[in-house]
Structure 1
Amino acid sequence: MTDPDEFSDVNEAVGAEWEAETTPYERVREVISRVYTPVSADTVAETARTSPKTARKHLNTLAEEGFVTTGTGENGATMYRRSPESLVVEQAADIRKHVSMDELVTRVSEMRERISDFQTEYGVDSPEELLIERTNQTLIEAAGAHEDIDPETIQKWQTTRRNLAFANAALSIANAERFVNDESHTSDGSVLAQ
């Protein structure tokens, strides 16, 4: 039988190694990169193995850079979370890195068609509208007289819509990069002064 303390020793060893090999800024950034609900600087500090003051300093820097958003929590405390914009840019960059432009255009077209099929089949524009419609139908009709919603269908629709948004962001970034690159050169091929 395994000793439970053995696992805490391994976790502590991995944590100590992470602390030794990274700066407090790197640890704070890594911790907040996985936070999608507001948390305090104290919470980030504990996970990032640094002081609350140091975590707050780095979180404020990350907020200035647009990586983190802030809000006010209970008792007026500043709360931090990963900014949606930084997540979209990260996801779009990852897509651009792993998927060719031709493949991306094909996938976008396929996802748009899949969403259109969902809309046609269910007669609503979104999975949320479908849930509302079916809930209302359940309240109106006698118990058991309605068609149950397949949760897997709702999840597929939501996932397709999310993936389409990320793919569209990747296409938009690629197009913007192309225009920036094209406009930084003159017609004779020389680079414009910036």
Structure 2
Amino acid sequence: MTKTWDDVNEQVKADWKEDTTPFERVYEIVEQTHDGQSAAEIADRALVSEPTARRHCKTLVNTGFAETEQEGQTTLYKRNSDRILMSRIRELRNEADRTELLEGIKEMKSEIRQYEDRYDVVSPEELAQQLDADETEGWDDLTAWRTTRQNLAVAQAALAYDEASHQLAV
């Protein structure tokens, strides 16, 4: 007898449920949630009851890991974007020293100037207004430019965080 994808998926779910606690499963689901989801949606994905999901989501909100938003009468839960950003900043600060951060910032600024010069625009948003739907290279560059701009902001924040940490230590 051949196993179907449904059988495999059900086995993966069963293994996940056996190997984790309800809190761990809710945490994993919220960690992956960019757009808010209701406790019922999280419960379904985390293989827990709705009251269990709601209780664990409230705990995650209280610890600052998650945040809420209202959609009518429904409370939606999602990961806290500020906490994710601060984790990225701290991670980068721990992985790279001041010299590496400065060099990376210099390289990213140069890359951004190249996009500005190539397309004769000052932002990815301006480029998006000029591109036709079939300009694959332009859309690829737009995505890369946005990513570089985000990475630059994180690197600059890591550098500022490092600077502030040194000033507070004095």
Report the TM-score when normalising by structure 1: 0.73
Deviation at 1:106, TM superposition (A): 0.9
Q: Superposition pairs for residues 14-29 of structure 1, below 5 Å?
A: 14-29=12-27
Query: CA separation of 1:114/1:25 partners in 2, compared to 1, >3 Å: closer, same or farther?
Result: same
Q: Which residue of 1 aligns with 2:128?
A: 131
What's the secondary structure of 1:81's corresponding residue? strand
Which has the larger Rg? Answer: 1
Query: CA separation of 1:2/1:63 partners in 2, compared to 1, >3 Å: closer, same or farther?
Result: same
Whether the 8 Å contact between 1:29 and 1:62 is mirrored in structure 2 is: yes
Q: Which residue of 2 aligns with 1:188?
A: none
Question: RMSD of aligned C-alpha atoms?
Answer: 2.6
Residue number among 60, 64, 67 corresponding to 1:66 in the alignment:
64
What's the secondary structure of 1:150's corresponding residue? helix
Q: Which residue of 2 aligns with 1:173?
A: 161
Q: Which residue of 2 aligns with 1:3?
A: 3
Q: Give CA deviations for 1:60-92 in whole Å, capped at 9, x if unaligned.
A: 22223222221112x420111222212212222
Q: Which residue of 1 aligns with 2:40?
A: 42
Q: Which residue of 2 aligns with 1:150?
A: 138
How many residue pairs get aligned? The number is: 168
Whether the 8 Å contact between 1:63 and 1:70 is mirrored in structure 2 is: yes
Q: Which runs of 5+ in 2 are unaligned?
A: none
Q: Which runs of 5+ in 1 are unaligned?
A: 139-146, 184-194
Distance of 1:175 and 1:168 partners within structure 2: 10
Deviation at 1:2, TM superposition (A): 5.0
Distance of 2:161 and 2:77 partners within structure 1: 26
Distance of 2:161 and 2:20 partners within structure 1: 31
* Amino acid across the alignment from 2:92: I
Show structure 1 runs of 4+ deviating over 6 A: none
Q: Which residue of 2 aligns with 1:107?
A: 104
Distance of 1:26 and 1:173 partners within structure 2: 31
Same amino acid, percent of matched pairs:
35
Q: Which residue of 2 aligns with 1:192?
A: none
